[in-house]
Amino acid sequence: MAGVYFYNGDWHDENPRVLGPADHAFWMSSSVFDGARSFQGMAPDLDLHCERLGRSAEALGMKPTLEAGEVIELCKTAIRKLPKESELYIRPMYFARGGFIDPDPDSAEFILAVYDQPMPEFSGFSAHFSPYQRPASNMAPTNAKASCLYPNSGRAVAHARSLGFDNAIMLDANNNVAEFATSNIWTVKDGVAFTPAPTGCFLAGITRARVKKLAEAADIEVVETYMTPDDIRSADEVFNSGNFGKVMPVTRIEDRELQPGPVAAKLRDMYMDFSKASQIF
């Protein structure tokens, strides 16, 4: 895997080893990250991802050591170090060294990983309704892109794969649809796009917000609402939005087969057109 890494003022060509068993992040999961993308020298919404990183750190009780603008420039430098045709995952992070139960705010350190991660084709994925649920905001730091939230997503994905599905649809603590285990969920019914209303139990993503703006620009009505599993089952289209694949169609929900729909295809094309304004080199 080709990539570049920035830590403690230096650039590395290999994954640097930075943690030991006494470090707070190692044993108490005090780490946050954000995920952006670069492809063909473009990096859409890179600024928004870097700004959110600092908010996530603060939500976990850490003091960011860099301004958002500094993180953006480091990400751009990393992108330029790799071939323009690369399809990259951009992952700036903060982690805490010190603390006992809660992290020492002043022990936060920054690290950046930028590495090859091919963009998935617009071919679709399957999903089922998971028995694992998203926690409420008073149960976990759901206002941060925190590493400690992801083991439950991992359990949901592993369970889905054991049943022959690619991904899982997770409900919130009130049994409303929250999101996929790895991205935000959308449906289309009679030409209207629906997505779960932000309730604080899941991260309403940057790509989700961008897709919402693109849909509205295309005169596609967007409704944020409480959604039930039956709303998903009866939809004309189901698709996701997320940093990894941007917009991807769902082709099977439980035992119901679906085709990639026109709304998802249009929004995917619009997203790629929007990305051209973020050309770095």
- SS3 (DSSP) at 5: strand
153 token code pair:
């997503």
> Residue 26: which of 112, 99, 89 has the closest Cα?
99
pLDDT of residue 267: 98
Q: pLDDT, tens digit, for every residue of 31-83? A: 999 999 999 999 999 999 999 999 999 999 999 999 999 999 999 999 999 99
pTM value is 0.96
Q: pLDDT, tens digit, for every residue of 160-207? A: 999 999 999 999 999 999 999 999 999 999 999 999 999 999 999 999
Distance CA 209, CA 131 (A): 27
- Rounded to 5 degrees, φ, ψ at 198 are -60, 125
259 token code pair:
């085709």
Angle between helices 46-59 and 206-217 (to 10 degrees): 140
Let me know: does 30 contact 134? Beta carbons within 8 Å.
no
Q: pLDDT, tens digit, for every residue of 71-115? A: 999 999 999 999 999 999 999 999 999 999 999 999 999 999 999
**Rg (alpha carbons) of the chain, rounded to whole number:** 19
- CB neighbour list of residue 102: distance below 8 Å, 6 or more residues apart: 61
> Residue 93: which of 23, 19, 147, 17 has the closest Cα?
147
SS (H, E, C) 163-191: CCCCEEEEECCCCCEEEECCCEEEEEECC
Q: Which amino acid is at 165?
A: F
Q: pLDDT, tens digit, for every residue of 196-225? A: 999 999 999 999 999 999 999 999 999 999
Of the CA atoms within 13 Å of residue 17, those in its CB half-sphere come to 2
pLDDT of residue 1: 66
**For residue 149, how many other CB atoms are within 10 A of its CB?**
18
